[in-house]
Chains A and B, each alone.
Chain A
């Protein structure tokens, strides 16, 4: 019975064939390690955000006079409202963790190299949209951090020559961040995750066109010997990882829900007073540090800071062309591997600098953090430059790669 129904459907819409070729029997390299599970974890995060966000939206009010109270109403009065909100707020944090690991995985194993450039670009687009979505979401509770985070970030646009000032007023819908801003950010915050979902589908389409890279970074030679079917080998691994992921995520949601949230955001937004120390969410800190580190160019500092911050993300787009090594995976590239780990540590250092006040110092004033910030910014961009130098001029001698998986 069910078979004949499926036959009827398949004759009109070949679902069974699609599931077979793209999911159950879809060939995956047999040597994928656990760094390959973060893609499906990111997708899981997106679904959690879509679901919790949709149900939060049913109780939330995007009005400057009501938003803060609406979130408190969700926290105190709505049945399981606290759970929805804590899942959503911590979900953003875990979404970024998975996406950052996912991106670094790609950088280490050379997953951005030919023929996966378009796949990589769509990934960066997702990352960018994710940052925009999270930024606008953080404005919605309308606390002090929400308000001043929105003020500082939208003000970045004013650095754009000629049209900057007008552009900011246009984004605000007023002469400061206010009710119109909150209302439009809510609309966009609702919409963008669905746009992300669409881009994820294109991302997966591009993936299935060129197939997964693998830790050795070499091509599949013989599909029978080198690959295993997605189901059950990858599905079980992804599910197991999801269990581990949920364990950590739930530990935060249930036992430390405010760990990543700022106490100041439980103070209602006050356009007349900036908190003494404003910090963005942790996932923006490295970029924030890069922005602040350019302060030595006088009246050009602001524009230069904004450009540097944009470039820190934009440079990922050209990464596939900067790396000119014949070998994809850093497993066989000792020099690149060292640079990579310096880069990772550098990102953490930038995050730490971004977390501290701008004029903070260490060692009794002997080490202003701004100097650390500038150095780390130089190292951040230096990584990409050196990667190009050592591969374009054959300075790095890669080790021999295996002939097959």
Chain B
């Protein structure tokens, strides 16, 4: 814009008729523009970054749960990082049905043994992989598992997707058994 205004203004003077003069000006405008773009991007970054999880949010990395009172067939929902986690003490039938599923055709293939460290305990991030609703407790869905009420996704007794719009199995969060009674969900970060 200003370049064309200048070249018309200068067109009477002999100086601008030299082509190098023009290309030098073009170069300066381009270089200034490039440097300003970097400057603007640098100034915008803190604003964008301010939306990312803050230090106090990141610090809530792990949750310890006492599972000694959880009987066979019982399930509890515990909060981890503000998200619900299902801990299910599976019955023998539920384990058997999960193992049976290993051999069937699955939308998101996974073996039950890879999903449960100890077959009795199923630990799942209770967030539907479709659009993030919390599925209903064990026994509500087809395949004996969990039904997500929002758009009708059915997960089996291993938390694998079997039917409905959800693309993936329920996520298994990082967890470890601290001792026989205590389960630790999550990993400390930083």
Question: Does A257 lie at the interface of the complex (its beta carbon under 8 Å from any beta carbon of B)?
Answer: no
Interface of chain A: mostly helix, strand, loop or mixed: helix
Question: Does A403 lie at the interface of the complex (its beta carbon under 8 Å from any beta carbon of B)?
Answer: no
Q: Is the CB of A176 within 8 A of B82?
A: yes
Smallest CB separation, B12 vs chain A (Å): 37
Smallest CB separation, A401 vs chain B (Å): 43
Q: Is the CB of A357 within 8 A of B149?
A: yes
Smallest CB separation, B154 vs chain A (Å): 10
Smallest CB separation, A284 vs chain B (Å): 14
Which segment, of A232-240, A245-253, A267-275, faces chain B? A267-275
Given A173-B54, A271-B83, A357-B149, are A299 and B107 neighbors across the interface (CB < 8 Å)?
Answer: yes
Smallest CB separation, A149 vs chain B (Å): 11
Question: Does A298 lie at the interface of the complex (its beta carbon under 8 Å from any beta carbon of B)?
Answer: yes
Given A156-B131, A175-B53, are A274 and B165 neighbors across the interface (CB < 8 Å)?
Answer: no
Question: Does A102 lie at the interface of the complex (its beta carbon under 8 Å from any beta carbon of B)?
Answer: no
Q: Is the CB of A301 within 8 A of B51?
A: no
Residues in chain A near residue B57, CB distance under 8 A: 173-175, 178, 180
Question: Does B71 lie at the interface of the complex (its beta carbon under 8 Å from any beta carbon of A)?
Answer: no
Chain B 10-31 per-residue mask, 1 if CB under 8 angstroms from chain A, else 0: 0000000000000000000000
- Size bracket of the B interface: 20 to 34
Question: Does B33 lie at the interface of the complex (its beta carbon under 8 Å from any beta carbon of A)?
Answer: no
Q: Is the CB of A298 within 8 A of B107?
A: yes
Residues in chain A near residue B130, CB distance under 8 A: 155, 302
Question: Does A170 lie at the interface of the complex (its beta carbon under 8 Å from any beta carbon of B)?
Answer: yes
Chain A 193-219 per-residue mask, 1 if CB under 8 angstroms from chain B, else 0: 000000000000000000000000000
Q: Is the CB of B152 within 8 A of A171?
A: no
Residues in chain A near residue B166, CB distance under 8 A: 302
> Which residue from A184, A274, A295 sits with its C-beta under 8 Å from B149?
A274
Given A180-B57, A278-B150, A358-B151, are A174 and B82 neighbors across the interface (CB < 8 Å)?
Answer: yes
Smallest CB separation, B55 vs chain A (Å): 12
Closest A residue, CB atoms, query B186: A175
Q: How far is the CA of A169 from the CA of B131 in the complex (A)?
A: 14
Q: Is the CB of A359 within 8 A of B53?
A: no
Q: Is the CB of A173 within 8 A of B51?
A: yes
Within 8 A of A (CB), among B131-155: 131-136, 148-152
Chain B 57-75 per-residue mask, 1 if CB under 8 angstroms from chain A, else 0: 1000000000000000000
Smallest CB separation, B168 vs chain A (Å): 7
Q: Is the CB of A272 within 8 A of B167?
A: no
**With A171-B51, A172-B53, A176-B81 given, can you name 19 additional A-B contacts, CB distance below 8 Å?**
A151-B133, A154-B132, A155-B131, A169-B53, A173-B53, A174-B53, A174-B82, A175-B81, A175-B82, A176-B83, A178-B57, A180-B51, A180-B57, A271-B82, A275-B149, A276-B136, A302-B130, A302-B166, A358-B152
Q: Top 5 closest A-B pairs, CB basis?
A: A155-B132, A359-B152, A299-B167, A358-B151, A175-B81
